[in-house]
Amino acid sequence: MTRLINGNFTNKTMEQRLVECVPNFSEGQDKAIIDLIIQPILDNKSVTLLDIDMGGDFNRTVVTMVGDPESVLQTVTECTSIALELIDMRHHSGEHARMGAVDVVPFIPIKGVTMDECIELSNRYAKYVSDAHSLPVYLYAKSAKYPSRVRLPDVRKGEYEGLQKKLESPDWKPDFGPAKFQPTMGATATGARNFLIAYNVNLNTTDKSKANTIASKIRTSGTIVKDENGETVRDKNGIVQRIPGMFEKLQAAGWMYNEDTAQVSMNLLDYSVTGLHDVTETIKVEASKLGLEAVAGELVGLVPLQAIIDAGNFYSDTNIQDVDTLVTNAIDGLMLDRIESFDPYQNIIEWAIEREQNE
């Protein structure tokens, strides 16, 4: 393997401009459909397929690809066209929030690419797929044109089932495409964002509400204030009052990993502000207050090496400099090998890119 020097790969292939794209498709049970959707990635030699995460209960697949900006844009539009043809939202159900067959398509700068360039890519993607398929598309994150559309949960609010009514509101006219409900396709969100870590912690309970209780305490948006009658408290302007959560740059909710295991499902929006070890240790404490234990950690998709090193430093007794040891300590501390084996050369983005390019 190519050695690391201060976190940077020495091989020249890493000098190319790299954009990551992580489309979420609302199909997680039929592998044959996903195989067809990802074929354009396999066909394009300028794009590397890093990860496919199929979730049966979520009925969602998260695909991670990386490559030069133009090749990634071309490839994800081809994947989108196939997915819109094969996925019918009228028959879709699953644990995870969703509003469309191609639910969200984020563009993330990885190397030699600016955020502004990724914003431009998201706009070009939105225009192409909306023109080609009459698909309603919303811009979110760094690409959002309105404050109400910055957060993906706000854009998804109401999900597919509430989309038809949502499209009738002038406040939710799509940024691209018609303000018309497309029953088979739903709607898509796209935008540019920083690297997001999707990370879950499983609990030894079947009670999703307990996982949600923990999630509401730690997420940035916190918990809604209720009065003695259980009614939502609002201020004089009608704004819902909240108790702020423990962490910044964190989204969290209670979900079911399977029928026997509830989990705290999270998006870490900036791991330099709120790290994997921060949320893991806090969840352990909050779980113990409920008589529960945190039993496993789960990464969905890939993670930057630095985020793992930060956790490795936290879980190491001494000031260890060896990267391999830090990674091993992080895997153990975050419980990433409790559900299944955790391969850092598949799950750490820099190592995964290097492995694929060397192969």
Q: How many Cα neighbours within 13 Å face the side chain of 326?
A: 18
DSSP string of 47-103, one letter each residue: EEEEEEEEETTTTEEEEEEEE-HHHHHHHHHHHHHHHHHH--GGG---SS---BSEE
* Chain centre distance of CA 198: 5
Residue in 46, 152, 173 with CA at minimum distance from that of residue 97: 152
Residue 313 in tokens: 């430093």
Backbone angles phi, psi at 262, to 5 degrees: -90, 155
Residue 332 buriedness (CB in 10 A; 0-12 / 13-18 / 19+): middle
Those residues whose C-beta lies under 8 Å from the C-beta of residue 152, and which sit 6 or more positions away, are 104, 140, 141, 189
Q: What are the residue numbers of the active site?
A: 96
Backbone angles phi, psi at 334, to 5 degrees: -85, -5
